[in-house]
Structure 1
Amino acid sequence: MEHSRFIIGLAITLLLTIATTPCHCKYHSKTVPLHQLKEKVTHLHFYLFDILSGTKPSAMEVARPNITTDKSATPFGSLYAIDDPLREGPETNSSIVGNAKGLYLSASQDPADFTIVMYVDFGFTTGKFKGSSFSVFSRNPVAESPEREVAVVGGRGKFRLARGFAKVKTHDFNATNGDAILEYKATLIHY
C-alpha cells in the first residue's frame, strides 16, 4: 500500500514537471520607445456621400425602435450600417478615393436636435494612402452647427496610432429621404 502511494505520487510529480518545463521558441519581440518614432501630421479633404434612398443605398437602416413617433428619415434610436463612398469633390461624378464603413445611431430624442453617434472606419483605395484608414468614434451633433468636429481615435497602415479630429460640414442634405453629402477636413497625428 505504501509502495503504491509512493509510485502514484512519483507519477504525479513527473507529470507536473513535464507539463511545466519551459519551452524555448523562436518568438522575439523588440520594443521601440515612442520617443524614437517620428510623429507626422496629415491633412485630408474629401466628401462623404451618405445615400439612404434609391435602389442601391450606401446606408441601410438595420434597427428601429417600435415605439418612436418621429416620422423623420432617421428617427431617434435608429441604427444604420454604412458603406459610403468618399469622393474628391461634392459632385456625384468626382473620383472615388475610398469608402467609409461602420455604424451610426440616431441619438437625440428631439427631432429638431438631430445628433448621431458614429463608429466609422475611413479607408482609402487610391493614391499614397491606399490601404490605410483612420477611425472615428464620436458624437456628431448634426443640427448644432453648420460645421462640427468629430474625434479620430485610431488608424492603420500609414495612419497607424492616429489621433486627431475631423471638421464635418454638411454640403447638401435632403430632409425628406435623408441623403447627405458631407465635407470632411481631417487632421491626423500619426507615426
Structure 2
Amino acid sequence: MARILPIFPSKFIIFSLLSFLAIILVTGENHGFVRNLDRRLIGQIKKKEKLSHIHFYWHDTITGRNPSVAQIVPPVSNASATAFGAINIIDDPLTLGPKLSSKLIGRAQGFYALTSQEEVGLLMAMNFAFIEGKYNGSVITVLGRNPVFSKVREMPVIGGSGLFRFARGYVQLSTNKFNSSTGDAIVEYNVYVLHY
C-alpha cells in the first residue's frame, strides 16, 4: 500500500525558504522600530538616480484681492527695519513665466520667518507641490536661509515625495521683481535635484 505524505512538510519548507529570503534582504540590526532594508524591498533596485533642473517663478503676494501670504506673527517691533520676528504662512503660485497669468505648474506651501536683525533674512520652509503633467502630486521640500537682498541666494532641497522620493539638491533664486511699498515679490527659482 502506497504511503501518502501529508502536505504540512512542503508548506513548512516553503515558509522556511521565504523566511530565509526575508532575512537575506533585511540587512543590519533590528531594534524593533528601525531596520536597514535592501533597496529591492521598496522597488529602488532598477531605478537609476537622475539629476533634474526645474525652472519656475514664485509669486509672493501680500496685498490685493487675493493675497497668497498670511502673517500669523507680527514683528517684534514696528520700528524694526528688518521686520524681525514676523512669521508668514504662504500658498504661493508657481508659474512657467514671470507673469502671474503664466501657466500654473504648482504651489509653494509653507512658511517664512524673518530671522535677522541685521538684514532682511528669512528662514524658509516650503513644499513645492506640483500639479502639472507626470509631476502632478509630487513634492520637493526646501528648508534654508534666504538673505532677500542678495543677488542670488541658495537653499538646500531636503527631500521630496512622489517622483521626487529621496530627493536632494539645491535651489538658486533671484528676485525678478519686488515692490518695496507692498512687499509683493516675484522670484525666479532654479531647482537642481537628484531623485529616482
The equivalent position to 1:69 in structure 2, one of 79, 83, 89, is 79
Does the residue aligned with 2:166 lie in a helix, a strand or coil? Answer: coil
Aligned to 1:164: 169
The residue type equivalent to 2:103 in the other structure is: S
Alpha-carbon distance between aligned partners in 1 of 2:114 and 2:107, rounded to the nearest angstrom: 21
Q: Is the 8 A contact 1:68 1:76 kept in 2?
A: no
Alpha-carbon distance between aligned partners in 1 of 2:56 and 2:77, rounded to the nearest angstrom: 37
Structure 1 position 67, deviation (Å): 3.5
Aligned to 2:18: none
Aligned to 2:120: 114
Aligned to 1:141: 147
Aligned residues: 159
Aligned to 1:86: 94
The equivalent position to 1:49 in structure 2, one of 40, 59, 74, is 59
Structure 1 position 128, deviation (Å): 2.1
Structure 1 position 66, deviation (Å): 4.5
Alpha-carbon distance between aligned partners in 2 of 1:171 and 1:103, rounded to the nearest angstrom: 20
Aligned to 2:68: 58
The residue type equivalent to 2:141 in the other structure is: S
Structure 1 position 65, deviation (Å): 3.8
Alpha-carbon distance between aligned partners in 2 of 1:109 and 1:176, rounded to the nearest angstrom: 20
Cα pair distance change 1:96/1:39, threshold 3 Å: same
The gaps in structure 2 that reach 5 residues or longer are: 1-21, 27-36
Aligned to 2:133: 127
The residue type equivalent to 1:91 in the other structure is: K
Structure 1 position 32, deviation (Å): 2.6
The residue type equivalent to 2:181 in the other structure is: T
Asked whether 1:39 is paired with 2:49, we answer yes
Aligned to 1:105: 113
Q: Is the 8 A contact 2:61 2:68 kept in 1?
A: yes
Structure 1 position 91, deviation (Å): 1.2
Does the residue aligned with 2:85 lie in a helix, a strand or coil? Answer: coil
Alpha-carbon distance between aligned partners in 1 of 2:84 and 2:157, rounded to the nearest angstrom: 24
Structure 1 position 184, deviation (Å): 0.4
Structure 1 position 68, deviation (Å): 4.4
Q: Describe the superposition over 1:4-51 as per-residue Cα deviations: whole angstroms up to 9, x where unpaired.
A: xxxxxxxxxxxxxxxxxxxxxxxx997333883521111100000000
Q: Is the 8 A contact 2:152 2:172 kept in 1?
A: yes
